[in-house]
Each structure stands twice: as C-alpha cells, then as structure tokens.
Structure 1
C-alpha cells in the first residue's frame, strides 16, 4: 500500500469534504510549490479562513466543509504558493484584539505597531475626548484600535491612496459595533486632509509613515518588496521625507500637551527624535523600543 493510500485523508484529495481532507489537499499543493512546513501552513490557512485558533483543524478533522469553502481555501493556498504573504493569502490579519481585512492595497499590520498604540494610550491616560488623527492609515489598524480602546471623541484616518481607504472603509464597517468612537476617513497626503480643522484641534497625531529609502529596496524581504504597496513603504530624502513633514505639520494642529507618536525604523529613530527636539514646539521627546529591543517609536508632546 502506498504512503498516500494509507493516509486517512488521501481518498478525498481531489474533492475534500472534511477539514482533515482539505488540509491534506492544501498541503499537497503547497508541497508542490516548495512552501516550507507545508502541512502546518495548510492547517493555518484553514484555521484563519474559518476564524478559528490555529490548532482547531487538527482537533476537528472530521468536520464537514462545503464546496464554496473548499474553493476559497484552494484559492488562498494557490496565492500563498505564488509567494504571497500569509495575510494576503487569507485576506485578513490580526491586530491587537481586532481581525482586519487586508489585501495587496495595504501594508500588513505588524505586532510592532501594536506597541505604538500602547504608547499613545499611555500618553493619553486619564484624558478623554478630543480628536486623534492616524496619518497614512492603510488598513485602518491604528485608527480602529484607538477608537476601540481609547476615549477620544473621534478618530480621523487619512491616506493618499484611495485603494487603501477602500480597505479601511471595509474594516470600519465590519467593526462598527466595537467602536467606542467614530472613525472618519479622509483622502489626501499626510496631514493635508485635516488642515481645515484649524490650530490646536488635535489631541494626538499618530503615524506609521513610509520610511524606507528607495536605495534600500533590495534589502527588504521579497514578501515585502514584491507584494506590499510601494506607496506605503518608500519615502524620499533617504526615507525621512514623510517623517519630517509630519513633525513639521503636526505642531500647529496639536493642542497644548497634544501627543505626536511615530513608528519609524531603528536607522531613523534618532533622526526623527532630533527633528522633534530641534523644532522648538515639542517637549518630552522620547524614543521607545519595539518588541525586539530596537529603537522604533518617537513620541513628543506639544508645548
């Protein structure tokens, strides 16, 4: 008896009708594409598409699956086999306690950015109300987390990409019942969409802006360089252009004691902090570390 025939799921490879058979079929597809740890990847794909814990498929091998879900799972596995990041393959990503829709129009939310939300919440502790702006919102991850966990009157999320705002809009709609504050989407570059609010209108400006220099593109992993949107990755002036613009333009919009919070990379954290410190309109400038101990977050308070 062949190894394939001895597998209890093997008879259902062509037309899987159970979770176990589907995992087996997807693992075969991923193995043919030389995806490492193909069976674990297949299990995780099924779990993510079902919005279940990652080991749920192993405990529910005999659970039936319908043809529509099988087709969806096969499409996800085929996308992963082409080299797409896992989040794009399944069309969703976890961020703090949220599950967000994502695709190639937006950056995949990272765990590091969850720390940025923690830093903002800490700086705003004990203060309710006010308006928070998330600059370059992408999927809406930061804006939605702050609207769920903070106590602002509203959160405004800006992005220069209409494609990104379409994804963010879908996530706002999906999470509407979980929000403690409304999230408003505005189209435009950086802080331009909120200039109409006037001086001192904002309690916090938060951003994970583009900060990769164009010359650094080849240093990025292929899963980032070849799949994630260039508009959200790269910035001029050796990666500092968007950072410098936000530091400059946030100051007049922030209220006294308003918070500026930026996520950058370790190569630019000190430069960003120096920009804020030398601006003269900020105090309490600080650099915070990410989960790996790298300088990653720059925070400042409006004088």
Structure 2
C-alpha cells in the first residue's frame, strides 16, 4: 500500500540527466542525484522564482521551473515523495501518462520538454492540482485517473485506490489461469474495477461478476467498464457479505475462481494510516476487524457453495494472515478449502494466498 517506488524515479532521472544538463547549460559531468539537485539549485541555472505565500506558483516560466518550485513547496509542507507528486501532476497537465514515463521514448522527450515554457492556462491548472495535493489528497484522486497494468482507470473519492501489490495479484491470477481463456470469476470488493477489468482485458473470453458494499465503487466500476468497452462481460452488484449462511442472490452460481483484495487492516493499525488514506478513502474498504480477517473468513466460509470442484480462491492480505488462515482452516474442515500456496509481493512480504476448494471424495 505504497506510492510508486522512488527507485524507479531515480533510474528515470539518471537516464535523461545528461541531456537535461546540456539543455540547462549546467556544467556537471557525473550523473548523480546530488548533481541533479545542484543543477536545479545552482547559480549556473536560470533564476528560480519563489512560490507565492499561498502556495501557488504564479510566476512559473518553464516546466523545469514548475517542477523545481512545487517539489520545494511539497518538501516544505512534508508531502510524501514530493518529487513524484510534482512530476505526476505536471506530466498529467502536459498530457503525459504515468505508464509511459519510464520508456526510452518518453525519457528523451522529457529532457527537452523540461525547458518548454508553460502558458497561463497550464500554470493555473498545475497550481490548482498541486493545491489539492497540499491538502494530502492522494495523487490518484488529484489526477482523476491512474494506470493499472495495461488499463487507465478513472479514480474518484472515496473509492479505494488500487495499489501496486494488487497489480501483482492480478498477474498471479493470469499466470495460473491463462490456459483457461473462458474463465468465469467472482470478485468480492471490486472498488474501481481494477482486478475484474484487468482480467477481462487480458483474457478476452472471460466473464465475471463483481460486487462491492459501496454504491460509489459499483458506479465507478460500471463507468470504467463502459469506458473500456468491457460492460458486456461483467455483472456488477452492490452487495455486502455477512455472516449469514444464506448467499446473496446476486452471486449465486458456480465460478472457476474467487478473487479479492478484501479490507484487511487490523483494527489496531487503523490510527497509523497516512492522512492520504484516512481523510479520503472509504474506511469500510480498509477496516478488516480486530484481526483484519472479517471479510476473508466470510469468503472462505461460502467458497464451497460458489466454486466448482478444484476452483481457486486468490486473496491479498496482511503478511500475518497466511499463518492465521492456515490455523483457521485446520479448525474449520467443513469448508473443504485448503491453502496451497503463499506468495510474496515486490517487497518480499508474504502478501498473497492461493487456496483451493477440494471437496471430500465420496
């Protein structure tokens, strides 16, 4: 649940920094982060004008000016990853997309475009979006869109923002099930539709049902499905799972897989979440109960009524959850669900559980 890695940004800066130095008439030869900072702040570079007291950058002349000034302002206000926040907002206003910023073509273009002069309309738009970020609004909501795997999804407060870990979850699902192109799946807690729509996009004969307790989430999933021309292969329903043994009518059926990034934050961990999360995202999409497993256990309890024999359950969760799930399954054999694999995320934390419904042989 982190913003994109600073490492990717540094690699990107290192790649185009020589061209940037030439364009700026700076005299640095060694390509380093310190050198880049020096270039921005050095007297060799064009004079940078200070931001106005209210925080807007009203006298910006070039893209580089705006990047420098807003990065500095975000640092002063202790905004997380200030360089990324400024870079994403400015790139968005100029028509760049996040997924393209790490390609050779965009690196080459960006070095030149840093010296491009901004017009008044562009400057005003950058200032307006940066003001929202100063209020700790997540960058995804500020931009109103975000890339997830191969899709650009609309983002809207307070719908849960998909993270990098969830992109990995989708990758695992596709890796294990790509040989079944007509996969029929159920997603529990669809949010913006990131998981379901990615599966539909990459397995073009697949079909799915997606549910969420939030009206805002269902409306956003439907909006994204329509934008991406995927509405004909997905059903969306507002539905909240409960501890009742009766299944909601909207999900009745047999599925090849159930996939979910359920609310999994421990109750005791909720106060420690960043302001970007607590102020803007739906708390019901985050709070998983005392041990972060309320929705997870409901999924495991109902799985045998929804999955075909041998069907899979894919869950994202807290690193503490795999051991807890295994212990719970041992004391609840009636579920006929077995934990078959635990996988790590890009930070090498146990994050994903692959389970199967394996009914008793009679």
TM-score where L is the length of structure 1: 0.83
**Within-5 A mapping of 1:141-160:** 141-160=194-213
Correspondence for 1:46:
90
Contact 1:273 1:287 in 2 (8 A): no
Correspondence for 2:316:
263
* Structure 1 residue corresponding to 2:151, chosen from 98, 107, 111: 98
Correspondence for 2:346:
291
Root mean square deviation, CA, Å: 3.3
Correspondence for 2:223:
170
What stretches of structure 1 of length at least 5 have no aligned partner?
Answer: none
Q: Following TM superposition, by how much is the alpha carbon of 1:63 offset from its aligned partner in structure 2, in angstroms? A: 4.0
**3-state SS of the aligned residue for 2:210?**
strand
Task: Determine the C-alpha separation between the residues in 2 that align with 1:39 and 1:196.
Answer: 45
**Within-5 A mapping of 1:116-155:** 116-155=169-208
**3-state SS of the aligned residue for 1:203?**
strand
Larger radius of gyration: 2
Is residue 2:301 matched to residue 1:301? no
User: Do the aligned partners of residues 114 and 235 (structure 1) sit closer, same or farther apart at CA in structure 2, a change above 3 Å counting?
Assistant: same
The total of aligned residue pairs comes to 299
* Structure 2 residue corresponding to 1:183, chosen from 210, 231, 234: 234
User: Do the aligned partners of residues 91 and 57 (structure 1) sit closer, same or farther apart at CA in structure 2, a change above 3 Å counting?
Assistant: farther
Contact 2:316 2:351 in 1 (8 A): yes
Task: Determine the C-alpha separation between the residues in 1 that align with 2:122 and 2:343.
Answer: 43
Higher deviation after alignment, 39-48 or 155-164: 39-48
Q: Following TM superposition, by how much is the alpha carbon of 1:152 offset from its aligned partner in structure 2, in angstroms? A: 4.6
TM-score where L is the length of structure 2: 0.71
Correspondence for 1:74:
127
Q: Following TM superposition, by how much is the alpha carbon of 1:33 offset from its aligned partner in structure 2, in angstroms? A: 3.2
Task: Determine the C-alpha separation between the residues in 2 that align with 1:259 and 1:152.
Answer: 18
What stretches of structure 2 of length at least 5 have no aligned partner?
Answer: 1-41, 52-56
